[in-house]
Structure 1
Amino acid sequence: MTGLDYPGDVLGFANDLTDAERAKLSQLRAYLDENVRPVLVERWERGESLADFRKPLAGLHLLDDPSVLQADGSLRPLYRGFVTLELCRLDLAMSITYGGQVGMFRTLVHAGGSPEQIAAWDPGILDFTFTGCFALNEPDHGSDVAGGMATTARRDGDRWILNGAKRWIGNATISDNLCIIAREEGGERVLAFVVPSDSPGVTRSVIAHKAAARMVHNADIALQDVVVPEERRLPRIEGFADINRAFRKLRADIAWSAAGMQLGAYAAAIDYAQRREQFGRPIAGFQLIQQKLVQMVANIAQTLALAVRTAEHPIADDVSPSLVKLIAADRLRETVALARETMGGNGILLTGDAVRFFADAEAMYTFEGTREMNTLIVGRALTGRSAFTR
């Protein structure tokens, strides 16, 4: 099928997509290129959200079109990964704006919700009439939030009273619901609540002056005596073990996101190298430029291999995701830097694409666990000794 090539996928992972999956991905790429790509530069500079593209993307039925569903109604992990890759190949913000809803929020609802909650909310999650985000991190607790969560939930009859604050919450100001994680007062449980964002006592404010993921509206959330009925609590979330269980199936998305961003940066770099002439010929013919391009492709191959492996053989432990994130983020950071270098001074222009990926890689490098924390997690597994605290 024409219209869906992946320069940089030299090992041919995309060749394993079915015709129906390739057709759906081609439809997604055509929509992104025709409607979103033309506004990226201006919106990135202004830090303007891409929320208005969510419902048109929902209208493509990327996740529920019968043509891409298996007999049991599920999606092939490879196809789902390539959906994330396509979004990140355009821009990380587009992936977070869309995927934070149908990926992270939906996954938590399915993993933690009751059958009645899932039945009531899932159709709206898919068509973006019931929007939501995941709120875990806090102003004073990021990497140590599991042991230091300050947000609390107090039982009061058939309702709960929430107090605390959350920080760096993606999509919070464009969501109708906030999935708040809180520690139960007087108990040991960690609970999840789907809180209407217009509830009395909820305040949301966009974090300004970001240099990465500028079109994602990360927010501070303040919770002051917020009343939440029991029926808005996800009953199958009672601790961090349940949250980890919920998100294991999404852990491979880190590698897919990193691969997509690298493919976008590489496409910009190889196109520029073929067009840009110095010393009387295109720079693509110089050894130093070819070395950069080859290293980019090698990084893409490694990252895609991780993505495909973890998609088709789901992660069943809490250590492997840290290793995947560490490797994928390292490869991403190097690739986008090489793409920017390849374009010389023109590489710092937003119109050249590479610098968007260069800046956004810094967000990817840090979120979902910093490199230091992931190193400590893997190191503890290898040695049996924890170096987190003295």
Structure 2
Amino acid sequence: MPNFLKKISNIIQLSRSIDFAKLDAISQKVDLPKMMEQFANMDEAQLNGLSKMLNGSHKKKELPTINSDFYELHLRLTPEQKEIQQRVRNFMENEVKPIVNNYWLHDEFPFELIPKFRELNLCGITYEGYGCPNLPFLMEGVVAMEIARVDASLATFFGVQSGLAMGSIYICGSGEQKAKWLPQMQKFEKIGAFGLTEPDVGSGAAGGLTTTCKKTENGWILNGQKKWIGNATFADVLIIWARDLDDNQVKGFIVEKDTPGFSVEKIKGKMALRIVQNGLITLTDCLVKDENKLANANSFKDTAKVLQMTRAGVAWMAVGCGRGAYESALDYTRKRKQFGKPIASYQLIQGHLVEMLSNLTAMQTMVFRLSELQDTGLLKDEHASIAKVFCTLRTRDIVSQAREVMGGNGILLEYDVARFVADAEAIYSYEGTKEINSLIVGRAITGFSAFV
């Protein structure tokens, strides 16, 4: 008798989980007497299991935290470095993310963010002196990744200012030039740009620059054009690389924006990195003072030193772009329901997500090692080049699959992934195309140069 009463009690408890308002509708589809008979024949374990299943269906499923650092590489950072990473992430999430899509859509730059970038105090992150933080190259990469995780355009702005422009002066400038310009640029009091690419010269810049320079009694005369120059429309100082008519070697110059003979036109109609204000620069008998000729920039080998240093940052930027796309896609698929369930619960979607995370994890481990080589003085051109090739290729795969799992919503700016898809195309091409960087690696591993 006690067992019988206990079974009745379990059935009564189970019945409380049933919505009796729907009982009539259920009775049209189910033989209720037969179902109750089956309930009565259940043992205690079966009843308990059914009760848990019914009760559990009303509970919200606890999902794992979205973690795109699947191999926990952040654990290799020191507490100070983790604090910097979190500070940049908070800045990007709180200050940038709410406004970035609007600026991207309208092809405009959010100038109100420049003072907030200054407050981060991370410009010239790896340089010693001049107010710079003098942190490891690893942190330069982490910062680039965190900025690009929200917006690749602002990562490009920061990379041009902190890397290409300041780096040219830091590596190739005289003591006087460094003392004059670097402290102001570190505080964003002066904005920099880097002018190497030309309308008809991209990959062939090493020996084919058409922008020329010639020494005169009054200084250097520059003539030519530069294209795709980030920050150019509002930069205060621009690093211009030109071919010397006398010795045919590439020289570097600090050109101030109000120099006679200098003009810039904004490039419009871009589909990628729309926040970056790219310019077409025209130099017409532009007279640059002797003191603004970079003291140690006397051949393309000197230019290449700057590019090697910053190319590693582009690989990190690609990782950030991939992280942002993956995280957005994963979050979307866990919320978006089709056929009564979140689409993240379906095998095909999980297959896409796992492939995205696999690529992302491989990219992250590669750039961590790349920065370790840089910090120990072992970095070579081919190390930076293979990372740039691999990471930008895989980023294209990641953003494509992110758009895939989001369906039609993947092309809407409000879901962010559309912006990552477009921006990945620019990252793939700048600072050396896949083909040129592949030839750098190919030369290193075969001993043969395949350059024309």
Evaluate the alpha carbon distance shift between residue 375 and residue 64 of structure 1 in structure 2; reply closer, same or farther with a 3 A threshold.
closer
Q: Provide the rounded CA distance (Å) in 2 between the counterparts of 1:386 and 1:109.
A: 30
Q: Residue 371 of structure 2 aligns with which residue?
A: 311
Mapped pair 1:187 → 2:247: yes
Q: Residue 445 of structure 2 aligns with which residue?
A: 382
Q: Provide the rounded CA distance (Å) in 2 between the counterparts of 1:217 and 1:298.
A: 34
Q: Residue 86 of structure 1 aligns with which residue?
A: 146
Aligned residues with identical type, % of pairs: 39
Asked if the contact 2:169–2:294 (Cα under 8 Å) also holds between the matched residues in 1, the reply is yes
Q: Provide the rounded CA distance (Å) in 1 between the counterparts of 2:324 and 2:96.
A: 14
The structure, 1 or 2, with the larger RCO (C-alpha pairs under 8 Å, 6+ apart) is 1
Q: Residue 251 of structure 1 aligns with which residue?
A: 311
Q: Residue 58 of structure 1 aligns with which residue?
A: 118
Among 312, 322, 331, the alignment partner of 2:385 is 322
Among 273, 278, 283, the alignment partner of 2:343 is 283
Asked if the contact 1:24–1:62 (Cα under 8 Å) also holds between the matched residues in 2, the reply is no
Residue 64 of structure 1: CA displacement? 7.9
Residue 318 of structure 1: CA displacement? 2.5
Q: Provide the rounded CA distance (Å) in 1 between the counterparts of 2:435 and 2:140.
A: 29
Decide which moves more: 340-349 or 249-258: 249-258
Q: Helix, strand or coil for the counterpart of 2:197?
A: coil
Q: Residue 41 of structure 1 aligns with which residue?
A: 101
Asked if the contact 2:326–2:353 (Cα under 8 Å) also holds between the matched residues in 1, the reply is yes
Q: Provide the rounded CA distance (Å) in 2 between the counterparts of 1:23 and 1:302.
A: 24
Q: Residue 364 of structure 1 aligns with which residue?
A: 427
Map residues 192-271 of structure 1 onto 2, 5 A cutoff.
192-271=252-331
Q: Residue 165 of structure 2 aligns with which residue?
A: 105
Decide which moves more: 379-388 or 326-335: 379-388
Q: Provide the rounded CA distance (Å) in 2 between the counterparts of 1:55 and 1:176.
A: 16
Which consecutive unaligned segments of at least 5 residues does structure 1 have? none
Q: Residue 294 of structure 1 aligns with which residue?
A: 354
Q: Which amino acid aligns with 1:32?
A: M
Q: Provide the rounded CA distance (Å) in 2 between the counterparts of 1:256 and 1:28.
A: 15
Q: Which amino acid aligns with 1:325?
A: K
Residue 257 of structure 1: CA displacement? 0.4
Mapped pair 1:336 → 2:396: no
Q: Which amino acid aligns with 1:270?
A: L
Asked if the contact 2:66–2:330 (Cα under 8 Å) also holds between the matched residues in 1, the reply is no
Decide which moves more: 344-353 or 185-194: 185-194
Q: Which amino acid aligns with 1:276?
A: R
Q: Provide the rounded CA distance (Å) in 2 between the counterparts of 1:94 and 1:284.
A: 31
Q: Which amino acid aligns with 1:361?
A: A
- TM-score, L = length of structure 2: 0.81
Q: Provide the rounded CA distance (Å) in 1 between the counterparts of 2:93 and 2:334.
A: 21
Aligned positions, number: 380
Residue 73 of structure 1: CA displacement? 6.2
| CA radius of gyration, larger in | 2
Which consecutive unaligned segments of at least 5 residues does structure 2 have? 1-64
Q: Which amino acid aligns with 2:214?
A: R
Q: Provide the rounded CA distance (Å) in 1 between the counterparts of 2:158 and 2:133.
A: 21
- Per-residue displacement from partner, 1:146-193 (whole Å, max 9, x unpaired)? 121111111111411110110111111120111000111111321111
Q: Provide the rounded CA distance (Å) in 2 between the counterparts of 1:64 and 1:23.
A: 18
Q: Which amino acid aligns with 1:198?
A: D
Asked if the contact 1:162–1:224 (Cα under 8 Å) also holds between the matched residues in 2, the reply is yes
- Per-residue displacement from partner, 1:66-107 (whole Å, max 9, x unpaired)? xxx9xx962022222111111000111111112211122111
Q: Helix, strand or coil for the counterpart of 2:233?
A: helix
Q: Which amino acid aligns with 1:264?
A: G
Q: Provide the rounded CA distance (Å) in 1 between the counterparts of 2:74 and 2:350.
A: 24
- Per-residue displacement from partner, 1:45-65 (whole Å, max 9, x unpaired)? 111113431221111213589
Q: Provide the rounded CA distance (Å) in 1 between the counterparts of 2:255 and 2:157.
A: 19
Q: Which amino acid aligns with 1:316?
A: L
Asked if the contact 2:124–2:166 (Cα under 8 Å) also holds between the matched residues in 1, the reply is no
Aligned-pair Cα RMSD in Å? 1.9
